[in-house]
Each structure stands twice: as structure tokens, then as C-alpha cells.
Structure 1
Amino acid sequence: MNLNMSSAESLLAQIQGLSSSIADLTHLRNYLKQSDDLLRTESTRLVPLLNELDPSIHSLGYLYILDACTAAPISKEQANELVITVARFINVCAAEQIRLAPDKFISVCKRLKEQVMLLQDPMRGVAPLLTAIRKLQTSTEQLTTLHPDFVLLCLLSKCYKTGFSILENDIFEVDQPRDLFLYCYYGGMICIGQKQFRKALELLHNVVTAPMAIVSAIAVEAYKKYILVSLIHHGQFSTSFPKYASQAAQRNLKNFSQAYLDLVNSYSTGKVSELETCVRANTEKFESDKNLGLVKQVVSSMYKRNIQRLTQTYLTLSLQDIANTVQLDSPKAAEMHVLQMIQAGEIYATINQKDGMVRFLEDPEQYKTCEMIERIDFSIQRIMMLSKKLTGMNETMSFDPSYLGKVGRERQRFDFDDYDVPSKFNI
């Protein structure tokens, strides 16, 4: 392995000769790793070698050369060629080879993302990054460093369905906390775009309650959207944090979200006029946060909540009475709201257009159809799987030396008599 790296032909021969077995690939990785700095300095001479290598067979060597060749700043004119080359490599490379150098693979993929952003064409990066994630992952439960980049590109290109497909996977393995924050925040925005508010709440909740020593800008923006989506989906919002939320979040997030908390208070009155007054007073703030569209959905949801309350009191009601009660402009507007809610399954009712009357009905679901049984069975199986997973993680943690050491130190720290409480705890 003591080859002269000034010889491009020798490098080519090494890559072609050591790309078959796992043992050979391990030798090749060590060889390339030791020569990484030299590869970068000779990157301009190595570009022609890419045409001599088959990226599907010589993936590891191709990756090292591609990483070296793309490390330098790329002009906008060169960006298009780089995107084509990297995308082709991602599509055909062997997963077992690129996993031998995951950091290199991630770097190359991130450069692809940067270049499609430079070209203002984020859609070109969506399919390659999805493929890259699948090849990099050892299981769908693993959150890679590429997940946030992929979800961001889906968001910018409005490929919501493609982004949502990966958000359905349960995540249990996280290498970098920042990746989780960005993935859940961008993912929450994609779910909002898809009107998948339940999943959006789950992802935004993860950002708000994740461990954090200090409050980040991502957590603040996630909290604002979490408030709005809660009002849209549940018709209410609790300002209390769960016990497992960090102290930093509990102490500081509300301070950055006063306009949104005012909106919660106005919403709780059930009066559209008060809610609209609050929106007008804070329109500039909502607009600067790019949340005005969501705020308008909050206002629209109040009409729905008020109509739903009517179903609990009346069997029949005229469209005019509905319009008057929920403060809509006309019976026609009331009819449109009722129709939309019927189609969405939010209420059960029939409209007699001849006399302008609405008849509210009971939920027709008897929970005995094959489809419903399959849904219930799927939910039970998923809960059992999650329970088993959590039990396994708990057992693993209970034997982890670093965790046991930390718990021991914490016990010693708080091992004091009740009457001898340090003043720093402010009890």
C-alpha cells in the first residue's frame, strides 16, 4: 500500500483491484483515508478518473474522488454538471460500500443540496436525497443527517406527499440532536401543508419538549406553530408544559410567543369578534413570522367549533339561525361551512335546501366493518411494537455505564436532609 499518489494510474488500479470483497474494500478504505489530504490537493488531476470508474462497482473509490473534486467552491455555471454527476452516483452506488465512508457520502449529498438551492431548483434534489437516505440507513428507525435536508427540499419544492412518506416512519435512533429539531420542524410544516394536523402536532411537540440547555430559534418557531395547529385541530391549547419538557423551554418559550398566547385567550371565549380583534392587533407580528395563513385557518376553525357545539344542542336548525349564532355573514356562508364539515366527516347532518333547514344526525359508525376492524388491529399491533421497543431501550439504558454513573452522581447531589436544603434550589 506504499504507492506514490502522484500517479493517477496507480490510484485507478488500486480502486479497480480492491472493490470486490469486504476485506479488499476495508484495505481500500484505509488506503484512501490515509491519502485524503493528498486527494484533495490533486483533485483537478483526478477528475478524468471518474470516467474510468464504474460508480456501481467502484463506489467507495468513486466516492472519495468525487468528494475531493467537489470540495472546492463551485460556480453557478458548474453547479448543473455537479448535480447531474452526484445524482447519478447516488442512484447507482452500492449501499454496502458507501456505508464504509458515511461522512464522505453525507458531505457529497449535502453539496448536492447546496447546489440545487443555488440553482433555485430544489425539486432536483428530492429524489436523489430520498435514495441517499435509504442507502445510508441501516433501518427505517434511524434518523440520518440527510433527513432534515431532504424534508427541507420537499418543503421548498412543495413535494409534500413525497416528504410525508418518510415522516410516517417511527424514529428511535438519533445521532445529532440538531438533526431531530430540524427534521421535526420541517416535517411539521409539510404535514401542515398536507392538512395532516395530528401528525404535525406530534412532530412540533417533539421539538418543543426535546431536551435543550438553551432555547433555540427552531424551538420558538415550532412552539408558535404548535399553538396554532392545536387550535385548528383540537379547538383549544393548554399553556402548561409536560413534566418531561426541559426547564429552558418551560421558562422561556412563552416569553417569545405572547401574541400567540393572546390568540389562545381570545379563541377560548368562543366569540369570533374577539378573535378577529386579536388577529388585527397582531397581524404585523403574524405576518413577519410567516404564520398569517395559519392564523386565518384558526379563525375559520372557530366557525366549525361553534357549529359543532350546535349539534350537541339542536336536532334541526335553519341556516339563518346558524349564520346568526356563529356570526357568519349569510345563510349561504353557513351552508358552505356545513357542507365542508359534512364532507370532512366533522359533523353528520343533512341539508334541506328547499326550506333552508339543517338536520343533525348521530355518528353512523358502528365499529363493526372489516375496514374498521383492520384499523383497530393495526393500532393494537403498533402499540404492542412500541411497547416492546421501549422495554428494550429501557433495559439497554439500565446497563449503560455512563447512564448509571450519571444517576449515581445525581443521587449523591440530592442526598441531603429535608432541613438542610441548599439555598440555590429556591425551595
Structure 2
Amino acid sequence: MRFIDEAIVTVKAGDGGNGIVSFRREKYVPRGGPDGGDGGRGGDVYVIADDNTNTLVDYRYTRRYDAKRGENGHSKNCSGKGSEDIFLSVPIGTTIIDTETNEVLGDLTELGQTLLIAKGGDGGLGNTHFKSSTNQAPRKCTPGFEGELKCLKFELKVVADVGLIGLPNAGKSTFIRQVSAAKPKVANYPFTTLVPNLGVVDIGKHRSFVMADIPGLIEGASEGAGLGIRFLKHVARTRRLLHIVDVKPIDGTDPVENARVILNELEKFSPELAQLPQILILNKIDQIPDEAELNEVCTHIVAELGWTGAVFRTSTLNGDGVDPVKYHLMNEIELERERELEDPIFADAQKERFERLEAEVRRNIEVQREAYRAAKRAARERGVIDDDDDDDDYDVQVEYVN
């Protein structure tokens, strides 16, 4: 499906209705006095997390949303009708940012979570409010208050517990096909995966987690080379990174150097992201049928990297070694979730870490985006691209399979 991970929209809450000046005029009721009603309240603007949408594409083309104003007051002390609130549906995982202050207004990570983004104006007062013993026929009322006007950035990051990282053609797409119902394209050439893919890994009854297959990184990705820089922000919410290394690359490159490329690019792009817990997957072990040689190669890779975390050997082609990885990940994630529920201090520390991570990733993505815009402006000036070409053409596609 078509997916856009960022959109800028303008929202305007409804203005309040005006109060009115009115006097009671009925037969046999002399000097009935003021009876002007208040204005109605303007509608608020909310965003709500909805699992029926996985894209911000609607906000790519409709960029302004206005709530209606409240009705003016009526005579006989009748207030005007308040306007209905409007709700903008966004995918789960959307962050709302005020573009003027760069303040994060909210982060919608749960189904049905709602956030007020623009408050409607209160209605004005009718002349009834201004009567007194010295002013029994006031001819004063007040207008309604204006609703809030905001320019907001909707930023979507896929909500996944585990992110797959690695060089192109390391076997990430085949891995996610083995453990979930996701069916990304698989072929024997680099950059087969051009877009993120999500899959739900089902371990058993009430035990599951979400895995994200991110397009492969290459050396220089932190400076904008390749595709990875555009999608690294989608692993900012993950609890674990699954680093997949091809033990016998078809191009004859060194697996150790390939792994170091990924580690270096993560560190350059986001030191906070590089600190996420990582699990090393030595993949394509079927390419080395001799067990002694395989042990030697795997031991060498782990030793050269100085890897101290968990290490697994897999063949995603035939599924060997995949199940232990699934159960290990599930156990780790469940333990972390339980600790967050039981230990408020740990939960707060986790929240702060993810906030720092998201802020760092957002900042670095914006740096790359500005470089992209500058390059397109320069190309436009040279006549290489059309004048109407969009500076923010960051459209991608995502497949999400439950």
C-alpha cells in the first residue's frame, strides 16, 4: 500500500460564537430586561490513533483542516450551539510536532489514543451577563474567542519491537519471511528491499512481537548514500536490533568488515541508536557445509568483532536455527516489558532513552533532508529537474502483515 511517513498540515480550531444584545419583549411584561445568550463554543481538533490506516497519504494532499465555529447566542437567554469536534485519524506510531516551536505535542503509540492538538475558542458573553443595579439595560456583549491555529508535522515511525539491520543481500527479507507472514521480495541481488516491511512474529498463545525489515545499509549511509538513511528512523522505537551478517558473501567480501560497516554507520548516524541491545545473526551457514570450517569462520567473526552479546547461527533459506532466535527475542522482550510494569524507575529510564533516541534520529534525519533539498534546488537551478518537482518527495511503501 502507498505509505508516506511525514506530512505537514495546518489545523484551525473553531472560533467561538458571538454573544448578542437582546431584551425581553413580551406583552404585559414591561421592562423585561436583557436576555441575550452566549455564543457557542468552537470545535476542537483531535488526532486519534487508528489501526485501519498505515499511511499519512491523506495528509499529503489535503493539508488544511478547519473545525466549525460556534453559533451566535440567541434571545431568551439561549446560548448558541457549540460546534462538533473533528478527529484526524493517523496510524499507530505517529508523532505530532509543532513546526513553529519544534515541540513534540504527543506520541500516539496505542490504538485509540487521542490527542488534543487545537483548542476551540469559547463563546462570547451575551448582554445578560452585564446587567447590574446601576445598569439594568446593558447594550454590551462580547465576541467569541478565536480557535487555535497550528502548523503541525505528522511523523510516522513503524511500531516494531525488533529491527533487522545488515548489508544488502544479507538475508534480512528471507529471515522475516521465515518467522512471520510477511512476504517481502527476495532475490539474489542487492537492494531487493526498497521499502520497510513489517511482520508479526507469533510464538504461541498471547505471545507475539513485531519485526521490521529495514532496507539494507551501505557504507556512507549516514551521509545519505544508499537507502538506509531514509528508513533508519523506523528502528528508533525498537527494543532490539537483529544484526544479520552473511558468513560467506557471494561477492567474496570479508564478513567482519561487512559487520563493521553497519556498526560504524549506526554510530555515525545516531550514537544513541547504536547503544540499543543488538543480537548477532551469522546467516547463510548452509553455504559452508563443512562443520569444522563453519565453526572456524563463525568463531573468527565473533572474535574479530569482540562481540559480547548473544550470537546465533542461521540458515534463513531452509529455516535452520531460526526458532531459537524467535524464542530468545520473545523472552527478552517479555522480561523487559514485565520489568517496566514492576519498576517505575526502569520504566522512566526506558522512556527517557527512547525520547533521546527519537530526538537524535529526528535531528539527523532533518539534517539529511535539508541536504537533499539543497541538492534538488541546485539541480533545479542547473535545469536538471523540473521547477515543479517536490522538494519533499520522500514517499515510500510499507507492507504490514499480521
TM-score (normalised: structure 1): 0.24
- Which structure is higher in strand share? 2
- Which structure is higher in helix share? 1
| Bigger relative contact order, structure 1 or 2 (CA pairs below 8 A, ≥6 apart) | 2
